[in-house]
Amino acid sequence: MKIGVLALQGDFVEHIEMLKRAGAAGIEVRLPPDLAEIDGLIIPGGESTSIGKLAVLYDLIEPIRKLAETQPVWGTCAGAIFLSKEVHHQQPVLGLMDIVVRRNAFGRQVDSFETDLNVPALAAGAGEPRPFHAVFIRAPLIERVGADAEVLATLPDGRIVAVRERNLLATSFHPELTGDDRFHRYFLSLRR
């Protein structure tokens, strides 16, 4: 299985390494032709405005929208912002997921944090899953989800940090920085 990782800006190399651990090939995506032979796409964290502007510059918006009609697409941190239909900031977005996202909802870089999350979807029939250690870096918050979206994880106070809508996945945090490949395996299972 070949999974594309949008390699315009951000931490795409870490996702490629995690995909390899999870048993898939990670392919850097920079231009529309790079989308032709992939079985899914990850949009990594980074700076969401830059990712959006570069995606417009390289004519990737419509090809990614088309890809999402048949393949799974996952946005982590800035990638979740880019997938959303609405963000509280003027910037290019794909408008694919019926979620409203607030950029930098937890504060500045110095306010970044790590915490354990309960994510029942990661159990995959194996009983109660162990907590997933999540890394939040200038993270967005998923403020609202549409009727077709499933909340996968929240913080203890109920704030939403992971959502699935059909073949689309959004996480406010950075699973690629943890060494735990369960979210990447979960994403690969969306392909089946």
pLDDT for residue 69: 95
The string of pLDDT tens digits covering residues 53-106 is 899 999 999 999 999 999 999 999 999 999 999 877 778 889 999 999 987 767
Q: What mean pLDDT is predicted for residues 14-43?
A: 95
Is residue 45 within 8 Å of 8, Cβ to Cβ? no
Percent of the chain with pLDDT strictly greater than 90? 69
Collapsing DSSP states into helix, strand and coil, what is residue 134?
Answer: strand
Q: Under CATH, which number does the domain 2-189 receive? A: 3.40.50.880
pLDDT for residue 125: 54
Residue 5's pLDDT band (boundaries 50, 70, 90)? very high
Which two tokens mark 121?
Answer: 């979807």
C-beta atoms surrounding 77 within 10 Å: 30
Is residue 41 within 8 Å of 3, Cβ to Cβ? yes
Is residue 63 within 8 Å of 31, Cβ to Cβ? no
pLDDT for residue 160: 96
State the pTM of this model.
Answer: 0.92
Residue 110's pLDDT band (boundaries 50, 70, 90)? low
Single-letter code of the amino acid located at 66? K
16 CB-near residues (< 8 Å, 6+ apart):
5, 26, 28
pLDDT for residue 46: 83
pLDDT for residue 92: 84
Least confident window among 102-116, 129-143, 159-173: 102-116
Q: What is the mean pLDDT of the chain?
A: 90
Domain boundaries, the chain: 2-189
Is residue 100 within 8 Å of 143, Cβ to Cβ? yes
Positions annotated as catalytic residues are 77, 174, 176
